[in-house]
Amino acid sequence: MNITCNGEQRAVEKNSSLNDLVISLELNPQALVAEVNGKIVEQPKFTEQMLQDGDRVELIRFVGGG
């Protein structure tokens, strides 16, 4: 199935969770804010948030520094 992640089309396996997507992108879920179809998904819910064909996902990484 196809989703849009940060403005780019991406193919993902059926029955993929938001957490599966994050891991496939080699990102640290602890350092992310996620939005699926305009709704914020809290990090503890990443494994429960199942992706659907056509979903729009935005992943925003926290960056430390000063």
Give the separation between CA 26 and CA 37, rounded to whole angstroms.
Answer: 22
Domains of the chain: 2-61 (3.10.20.30)
pLDDT computed for residue 61 by the predictor: 85
pLDDT computed for residue 66 by the predictor: 60
pLDDT computed for residue 64 by the predictor: 67
pTM metric for this prediction: 0.89
Q: What is the mean pLDDT of each run of 10 residues along the chain (66 residues)?
A: 97 96 94 95 95 97 70
pLDDT computed for residue 54 by the predictor: 98
Half-sphere exposure of 18 (CA within 13 A, CB side): 25
